[in-house]
Amino acid sequence: MTDERKSVALAKLAAAFGDDVVSTHGDFGDDTALVRRERIVEICTFLRDDPDLRFDLAMDLTGVDYLGETPRFEVVYHLYSLEKRHRVRIKVRLPEEDLSIDSVVPVWAGMNWYEREAFDMYGIVFRGHPDLRRILMYDEFEGHPLRKDYPKAKRQPTIGPAE
Amino acid sequence: MTRQGGGSGEYVLSTLEAMVAWGRKYSIYPFTFATACCGIEVMGAFGTHYDLARFGAEVVRFSPRQADMLLVAGTINYRMAPVLKRIHEQMLEPKWVVAMGACAASGGFYNNYSVLQGIDKIMPVDVYIPGCPPNPEGIIDAVVAIQKIIETGAPRAAERWPIKI
């Protein structure tokens, strides 16, 4: 909490959630908060509904695989406020052995396909997602191709015409 | 076919097969399956400048059931492969397949988890056009190559498929 350029969003977030906000920074104008996964839905609801913040547009959700680090995976939320015209980035680290987090589809319906993509590419399970299926790869595909330990040259059987 | 006689009494000696092949050769109906930048070159080939109509292959069919030549122009990934295979199965015999560009021929530089490494994994290919993307002359060359196959009765790729390595 030393960066003075930190925005109102990060200040309010840290004040409201205390220890559940692990760290924040405003480097290069990119306001970022690393939070604990247990209260992610509460945090997102707060960011959406607070009258000073109003993060009403869920721009992106993606996974990251930091192979070799502990915890290994990360989920990143990019949020934007159409009314206040400001942005914030929320990061959550997830351990490999319990790769799950609560879905934020109840907060932003637009996160539905992003969460399916993160599930498809990284195997991150979003608890409470209404329809957690693969979205880019076909159902018979085995594994999660954007994980860093997925073999680059691995080929899977070609599927026939769908009946 | 041999031309005989002269003046007003000219006539042609032929076989029925050669006559049919001659008709097919100049009326190839293409079906273009364009999924990437190769499709732009296909448009150029059918357009006025290169004018594929000069080779009798200008009637683009948008139903595979009416087409003779499947022109696969672009990257085919594993999700698209069943669709392409279905379209190929819907075409009536005799049919020919052209794999246009690096992606359709071999996967191109997309050596990854999602891209089919050449459409010859799922269907017989008669003519490959190299290039990324090939220019319209390449497409004309492929049409002429298929005309040669039709004219000479050379075996189609379907007769030696799947490829044994």
pLDDT band at A18 (very low <50, low <70, confident <90, very high): confident
Quote the pLDDT of residue A161. 56
Look at residue B165 and tell me if it is in a domain.
no
User: What is the span of the domain harbouring residue B139?
Assistant: 29-154
Among B residues 58-87, those touching chain A with beta carbons less than 8 Å apart: 78-79, 81-83, 85-86
* In chain A, domain spans: 8-127
If one counts the domains in chain B, the total is: 1
Look at residue B97 and tell me if it is in a domain.
yes
Query: Per the confidence metrics, is the pTM higher than 0.90?
Result: no
What contacts B64, CB < 8 A, 6 or more positions away?
B31, B70, B87, B88, B90, B91
**CB A159 to CB B81 under 8 A?**
yes
CATH number of the domain within which B140 lies: 3.40.50.12280
Radius of gyration of chain A (CA): 17
Look at residue B86 and tell me if it is in a domain.
yes
Q: Which two three-digit tokens encode residue A66? A: 């930091």
Look at residue B119 and tell me if it is in a domain.
yes
Distance of CA A52 to the CA centre of its chain: 22
User: How far is it, in rounded angstroms, from Cα B35 to Cα B76?
Assistant: 7
Look at residue B122 and tell me if it is in a domain.
yes
**CB A158 to CB B81 under 8 A?**
yes
Distance from CA of A22 to the nearest CA of B (A): 36
SS3 A42: helix
Q: What is the pLDDT of residues A2-11, one digit of tens each?
A: 444 568 888 8
For chain B, give the mean pLDDT. 87
CA angle A80, A104, A3 (to 5 degrees): 45
Look at residue B138 and tell me if it is in a domain.
yes
Whether the per-residue pLDDT at A76 is higher than 90: the answer is yes
CATH number assigned to the domain covering A8-127: 3.30.460.80
Look at residue B19 and tell me if it is in a domain.
no
SS3 A108: coil
**CB B117 to CB A155 under 8 A?**
yes
Q: Cis ω on the peptide bond leading into residue A157 (within 30° of 0)?
A: no
User: What is this model's ipTM?
Assistant: 0.72
Quote the pLDDT of residue A59. 93
